[in-house]
Amino acid sequence: MSDITKCHGGVCQIRYNCWRYCAPSNPQWQAYSNFYKENNQCTHYWPIEPIYVEPEVRKTQTQGIQ
């Protein structure tokens, strides 16, 4: 589990490259927030390497957003 406030992602175009969205989470105890702004700006963007992406997020990346 990551001790950070995770991002919900929403319609953010860079969410799959952001640690705040892709970091491992604890299903019982995790804080979330909406960091994305309507002007496509995010001051909380935290770039990551693809190796840190959780398997279920990686599966979504390869299948596309529904």
In this structure, are residues 33 and 5 in contact, taking their beta carbons and an 8 Å threshold?
A: yes
pLDDT value for 66: 44
CA separation for the pair 57, 39 (Å, rounded):
25
Give the start-to-end residue ranges of the domains of the chain. Answer: 6-63
* % of the chain beyond a pLDDT of 70: 65
Is the pLDDT at 2 greater than 50, yes or no? Answer: yes
Q: Which residue has the higher pLDDT, 18 or 57?
A: 18
Q: Three-state DSSP class for 59?
A: helix
Selected residue with higher pLDDT from 60 and 17? 17
Residue 31 scores a pLDDT above 80: yes
The predicted model scores a pTM of 0.62
For the cut 50, the answer to whether the pLDDT of residue 10 exceeds it is yes
Does residue 26 contact residue 1 with C-beta atoms inside 8 Å?
yes
